[in-house]
Each structure stands twice: as C-alpha cells, then as structure tokens.
Amino acid sequence: MQSFGKLPDGREAHLYRLRHPSGFEVAITDFGGAIVRLLAPDRAGRLGDVALGFDSAERYAKDSPFFGALIGRVGNRIAGGKFTLDGREHTLATNNTPGGLPCHLHGGKVGYDRVLWSAELTTRDTLPALRLRYASADGEEGYPGNLAVEVTYSLTDSASLRIDYLATTDRATPVNLTNHCYFNLAGEGRGDVLGHELTVRARRYTPVTVGLIPTGELAPVAGTPFDFTMPRLIGERIAADDAQLRAGAGYDHNFVLDSADGSLALAATVREPASGRILEVLTTEPGLQVYSGNFLTGDLAGKAGAVYAHRGGLCLETQHFPDAVNQPAFPSIILRPGQTYRSTTVYRFSAR
C-alpha cells in the first residue's frame, strides 16, 4: 500500500498492488475502487500495462471518464432519471444527455466511482486479494435504502483478475454493479483499439434510441455490424451507415449474452494481433456493454504521459440491461431486504 494523493476534501487515497508470482500485476486505488494499472505479458513474455488510467487520485477526481472504476448503485443509463418501485416514484440525478435527452448514468453525479472505499488486503485461495467496502446511504443520489456493498478483487492461478460483488439492503432498491476498465491490449496510450479482434457470445443485443436508452427489443445481431459471434475487428464496421452506430457514435450497446443462467461463463474474447495478448471475459451477468471509447477525444494524458487517442480503450462492462428498472421484460435488478446481491466477473489474460 502507498499514498495515491489527496482528494478535494483533503482525505488521502491509497494504491494497493496485487502481484502474482508470474509477474501478472494489478494496482487498485481505494478512490472509486479503480483499476489503475494492469500488467499482462505479450507473446514474448514482456509485461505491459493494458489499462487506461492516471497516476494520482487528484487526476481521477478531476478528469476521469470512469477509468477502471467501480460503478453503482446502478450501472449504465436510467431513462429520465426516474423509476417507480412498489408504487412510489423515485427521482435520480440526471448527469448525462445523449441526443439532448437527460438520463441518469453510472450512479449519478457522485456514483461509486467518486467515493473513498474502505480497503483491506487479504487473500483468496492463497493468492493476493483486496476487499473494498462502502455503505451507500438511503437517499444517496435519490436511491432508496441503505445498501452495504462489498467488492473483492483477487488474482487467480490462470493470470486472471476476479471481481466478486456482494450487496445487501434494508429497503427495496435497484442494484447493478460493474467495473468500467478501459483496455488497450497493445498497451495504454498506444493508439486506438480498432485493430483489436473481438468475439462476443451473444446472438442478440438491445437497440437504443438516440438517447442511448434501450427500446425494449432484443434484436438479432445477424446481418448487422453488431454480429461478433465470430471474431471481427472492432474497426471493421464501426463507420458503417447504421442508425445504431450513429446513435452511439460507435459501439456503446448492451449485448444479450447466450449464457444467461447465472453461471460463470465466457462472454467475450479480445485479441490484439501485434502483441499477441488475449483477454477473455467471464461473467455471471446476463449482459455485456461493449463501449469502443467513442467519447475519448485525445485531450487526456495517462500514467506514462501518452495522450489517449479517440477510441483508445475498449470497455467490456458486465451487467444487467440498461434501464432495466423501467423495462419489466428485462431481467430484474431489484434487491429486497433478506436477499443478497452476488455477481462475479473474471478478466483472464494469455498470449500467443
């Protein structure tokens, strides 16, 4: 553990390193629970940092577009910042306006990405782990109920980073936790991700309105630029004349995973040809948001000083579907007293 700088209110943030004997390493800050650094080997065994991020808590507090952060209480978008639960309407902060339409995004103005978590170094199966806890108060950002959240980052024997989410509440509330790591398997700051090869185990996706809210349809990917059932380059069709790609300014869509029974299953695979690095994403979640870094504008410099290019990172956010709290046909995100929210995601690295 080391100091990671001061927050605007004067509190100190810290950086924690989890290192595998193989050299695979993850650095995480207790500010926003963000993955700051992730060292993975290429085909020659050379370690490289494949996660976008900053070198101090001050930068995360000022500039970060959710780099590596934990997201909650509800990840992704809620239409109009409103929902009705058990007959009562709740109004949330609206902090995003795609297409000029206000919505609630990633937990609001002060989501879990902008709070200081309680951190404890521990182990899981004898390997390093970091347990983070946060008490989310009733009424925070407009959400009902006191929510106790616990997130554990742990390394595994297979050069993987495992994330286990757990939450309980004293009042019915929506919960949809995720991580917003931006990956560039060529190395952070080394150009865009358009040459990365992506496979997603999803035969359907959720089309969106111009406000990036799902229409409610579960549409087939076949015959569209969203068909990644076989490996395709991210940049191969991103500029296609397609209304959905125009709405998201690229890929910013939820994929309906073929494995939706709650078991830990492979959701997506990414390969970067030059380095040979491969990332596999496994999750218990029913959805995966594929975001191609469309709103990175080339004005942010990362840890090593390199400017992050437009589409310089790829996010693969495991989740329940966006706006699920307003769409009864989507899998429910309501957690009630006496229930325990559990979710697991694994980022597994290899090279060839």
CA-CA distance, 157 to 56, in Å (whole number)?
Answer: 29
79, β-bridge pairs: 103
CA-wise closest residue to 49 among 293, 316, 352, 305: 305
Q: What does the block give as tokens for 33?
A: 């629970």
Catalytic hit among 106, 140, 317, 320: 317
Residue 214 has what DSSP assignment?
Answer: B
Tokens representing 253 are 């869509």
For β-strands 160-169 and 147-156, DSSP reports them as antiparallel
Burial class (CB in 10 A: 0-12, 13-18, 19+), 11: exposed
Distance between CA atoms of 203 and 218, rounded to whole angstroms? 9
40 has which bridge partners?
48
Nearest alpha-carbon partner for 59 in 301, 323, 222 = 301
Looking at the DSSP assignment, which residues form a beta bridge with residue 263? Answer: none
Answer yes or no: 12 catalytic: no
Q: How far apart are CA 350 and CA 240, in angstroms?
A: 31
Tokens linked to 72: 């909650």
Tell me, yes or no, if 106 is annotated catalytic.
Answer: no
Asked whether 257 and 288 are in contact (CB, 8 A), the reply is yes
Question: Are 349 and 159 spatial neighbours (Cβ–Cβ below 8 Å)?
Answer: yes
CB of 334 within 8 A of CB of 325? yes
- 178: buried, middle or exposed (CB in 10 Å: 19+, 13-18, 0-12)? buried
| Selected catalytic residue, list 104, 180, 196, 253 | 180
88 upstream amide cis, omega within 30 of 0: no
Catalytic residue annotation: 180, 317
